[in-house]
Chain A
């Protein structure tokens, strides 16, 4: 990778770190409960930046949160958040971004394949988050799924569809 391309990726990755952090603050009113866009930006980072830069992006986001800046959902931060009930979702972003980017790249970065990649990525986040939630809160697995997964599925489906269209429009603009 030449210096110019590397610099561009450095800036774009930083931009996506900021988007993921700000995603918790951007709420779109859909129905009685607004949805926040944080996980959508994680998925977009994966399919736009690719596996390695995407992984770096989520890693830096977690690092900033661990260092104490209020970038995790709810404006929180700190290592305590990582070991709290939602820590599994946060750590799940790392394999999610890598796998989503890998699948998207392997299948040719099309609208339909991006959707498949993002669905798998979202399942990875739940795969890490729900068992973690179960262990930390001592809930039954059924209850952990009921409070930590089912309520978010519709919102996630909407975000994945939107993200696929956004990625399709954005790719020619940023020319990566």
Chain B
């Protein structure tokens, strides 16, 4: 079931799975910040690296693409919006709207960058346990004053844990609705309510059970700090992350 959503963690023993989560966090922040500046060749090179990492992490790129197919459609709209709205040398006209060469280039680049950011996020979620994310958040926020880092960390970890559960429940409720001819419902407000209300009720009941479980195990913010186990390849990955970030900025 966990493989049903792009957010889910998939167990494995690849270098990415074993990499210290703080290192992964740092690299992903660095890449997502510098991606704005990336050119098409640098982006393509990074895409090849991502494909290599997908393979090494044991992730199937085709099933991943299938799970984000709606976003790929959305990327097409991003591309089309740029292609139609940007001024420049006209390639051809379509119902009074002109597509420009500069618009096509810019649209392709922006859509490609969004796609790369999406794949980077997916590979991070797929190779990182929610509990490790919690530990890393706690570690990063420890020096920040007035932020209850332990509570923040547990909330982030819980949120990441809830995401695949909600996505799966939404799909099940939607399928159950379709089986009962909910598609024929014309009222849009009823359509929303019929999906969201059972989804919220179900997940809040699960959340209540979780609260009970945490209470019965005497959960409190005063817990032992997490321990990190570096894999020894952190320096290599950090160096690679910096090289990629620099290539985005300068090429």
**Chain A residues packing against B (C-beta within 8 Å):** 3-4, 7-8, 10-15, 17-19, 21-22, 25-28, 30, 35, 37, 40, 44, 56, 60-61, 63-64, 66-71, 74-81, 83-84, 158-159, 161-162, 165-166, 169-170, 173-174
Contacts and interface: CB of A to CB of B under 8 A. Distances in A.
Nearest to B125: A69
Interface in B190-220: 191-193, 195-197, 200-201, 203-204, 207-208, 210-211, 214-215, 219-220
5 contacts: A15-B159, A69-B160, A81-B117, A83-B36, A166-B193
Nearest to A174: B204
B134 to A, nearest CB: 11
Contacts of A56: 155
A28 B163 CA distance: 18
| Most chain B C-beta atoms within 10 Å of own C-beta, residue among A11, A61, A165 | A11
Contacts of B78: 74
A12 B36 contact: no
B29 A79 contact: yes
Given A68-B28, A68-B29, A22 B6 contact: no
B207 A12 contact: yes
Contacts, number: 173
B125 A7 contact: no
A63 to B, nearest CB: 7
Contacts of B193: 162, 165-166
A78 B71 CA distance: 16
